[in-house]
A and B are shown apart, each in its own frame.
Chain A
Amino acid sequence: KAGVTQTPRYLIKTRGQQVTLSCSPISGHRSVSWYQQTPGQGLQFLFEYFSETQRNKGNFPGRFSGRQFSNSRSEMNVSTLELGDSALYLCASSLDSSNQPQHFGDGTRLSIL
């Protein structure tokens, strides 16, 4: 069974640009969550999508957005990039419910110059 796939693995952008990251969940998983990992702040929850609807949102500015498609694949977008957006962005999928473990992809490493 294929795991969670995130593309691309690495990205380099400059301040002010925007970026789109992609996540393909495990087949059959309908929940997709996104997390930001930085050395200073650790792992922080961005948002969660379930059946194409945003179900939960973390404490991030509106520059961070996402969406989910009918096949459960998800994208997240960051506009007007700032230096502080440099991070590892992790996607996780699960069947549903908070009792179910989330399965993580290997992440997209975003570097802002």
Chain B
Amino acid sequence: GNSVTQMEGPVTLSEEAFLTINCTYTATGYPSLFWYVQYPGEGLQLLLKATKADDKGSNKGFEATYRKETTSFHLEKGSVQVSDSAVYFCALSDRRQAGTALIFGKGTTLSVSS
């Protein structure tokens, strides 16, 4: 079945450091891929998405490229801020199926200090 694997956290960085959060997926079809972010006490917010191979999603300085050959969708940011501290979830949805069910990774907690 479909699944998503994320690197275990927590990830602790200093402000302005480079961020990478690894995400790999298993899917029999051609999924759409997403990164969501969750701040304390809130629901999930879509950070970026990619719907086909080699697509690059980007938003607020974050980027991720859909790599079909390595089945990966790693999240990167060149210079993190304290306000980026949150839990990040990688997710996929199977486009072969009707509907929009998302399969999530376990989440990676990012803590950025000034």
Which A residues are within 8 Å of any B CB, using their own CB?
4, 6, 31, 33, 35, 42-45, 48, 50, 55-56, 58, 90, 92, 94, 96-107
Scoring B residues 101 to 113 as 1 if CB is less than 8 Å from chain A, else 0, what string do you get? 1111111000000
Identify 8 residue pairs between A and B in the complex whose beta-carbon atoms are under 8 Å apart, listed by A's number.
Answer: A31-B99, A31-B100, A48-B99, A56-B99, A56-B101, A98-B99, A100-B100, A104-B44
Number of A-B contacts defined by CB within 8 Å? 74
CB distance from A73 to the nearest CB of B (A): 17
Specify which of A45, A55, A105 is in contact with B102 (CB 8 Å cutoff): A45
CB distance from B98 to the nearest CB of A (A): 6
Chain A residues near B97: list those with CB within 8 A. Answer: 56, 98
Scoring B residues 34 to 68 as 1 if CB is less than 8 Å from chain A, else 0, what string do you get? 10100001111110010100000000000000000
> For chain B, what secondary structure do more than half of its interface residues adopt (helix, strand, loop), or is it mixed?
loop
Answer yes or no: B15 CB below 8 A from chain A CBs. Answer: no
Chain B, Cβ-Cβ closest to A41:
B106
**Inter-chain contact A33/B95, CB cutoff 8 Å:** no
Choose among A4, A6, A31, A104 the residue with the greatest number of B CB atoms under 10 Å from its CB: A104
CB-CB nearest 7 A-B residue pairs: A104-B43, A98-B93, A43-B104, A56-B99, A104-B44, A55-B99, A101-B46
